[in-house]
A = this chain, B = another copy of it.
Amino acid sequence: MTFTELENIRPAARAGQSRQLQALDNCLECPVRSISVCSVLDRCELAQFAGIGRAATYRPRDILFMEGFPVDAVYNITKGLARLYRLLPSGHRQIVGFAFPGDFIGLPPGEHYGFSADAAVATTACRFPLDTFAAFVESRQDLLRRIHDSATRDLERARDQMVQLGPRRADAKIAAFLLGMRRRRSPVHESSVLISLPMGRQDIGDYLGLSIATVSRTLHRLERAGLILVVPNGVRVLDRQRLERLAAA
Contact = CB atoms under 8 A, between A and B. Distances in A.
Given A89-B249, A90-B249, A96 B151 contact: no
Interface string A96-140: 110000000001110000110000000000000000000000000
Nearest to A153: B109
A188 interface: no
A165 interface: yes
A162 B158 contact: yes
A151 B152 CA distance: 7
A167 B210 contact: yes
Nearest to A165: B165
Contacts of A114: 156, 159
Interface string A140-184: 010011011101111110110111011110000000000000000
A63 B59 CA distance: 49
Interface in A4-56: none
Given A165-B209, A166-B94, A167-B210, A109 B152 contact: yes
B210 A86 contact: no
A248 B89 contact: yes
A22 to B, nearest CB: 31
Contact of A141 (B115, B141, B161, B210): B141
Contacts of A159: 86, 96-97, 114-115, 158
Contacts of A158: 155, 158-159, 162
Which 4 A-B residue pairs are closest in the complex by CB-CB distance?
A158-B158, A165-B165, A109-B152, A166-B209
